[in-house]
Amino acid sequence: MADEWQDLEFLRHVFDETRVVRKPMIGIITGYHVLPYILVGPEHDQPGHSVEVRGRIKVSPRLVIAAGNDAPTYGELFRETELMDHRLVARVFSFRYASRVSLESEELRIRRHQRDAGGHLERVLEELSQREVINTGVIASPDVRFYPVSVDRFIREILDQEFRE
């Protein structure tokens, strides 16, 4: 598996084949917050089984990157939005990473299931719908061994949506 982490074409394939099945419906909050996700994919050694990764992404408040010596002042940052170029705004995301383990903690939970990935994905979506959970993203990964790549795809889609506005 270590060789596959070095194979940029393979990682691009995982990134491209990842599907964000459901985005959070409440949008990104301006300040620091946590964005939960559920990732589902086939188990590598047993494609008829699935692996579920439940985690939380910690999201920073928006950051301003100064383009030069004329950095915005505190007052400009928090009171006057017309002076700030939207291209200078960013976010920082962080999430736990675990490789080849069964793990359960407050931040990350990895579980294996005996149903296929498609069936398990439907079960996850039904669970969220029944519980009326609207703040959790759902991700379908082609290879859960590389779930950080799929989580990166999810984050990029959220950012594209946020910064397009």
Which domains, and CATH codes, for the chain?
18-60+95-164 (3.40.1530)
Helix axes 8-17, 147-164, angle to 10 degrees: 60
Q: Are 53 and 144 in contact (CB under 8 A)?
A: yes
Would you state the pLDDT for residue 26? 64
Would you state the pLDDT for residue 24? 85
How many whole angstroms separate alpha carbon 21 and alpha carbon 125?
9
Considering the entire predicted model, what is its pTM? 0.70
Would you state the pLDDT for residue 47? 86
Q: Which residues of 93-110 are buried (b: 16+ CB within 10 A; e: fewer)?
A: bebbebeeeeeeeebbbb
Segments in the chain below pLDDT 70: 1-2, 4, 26-32, 61-106, 161-165
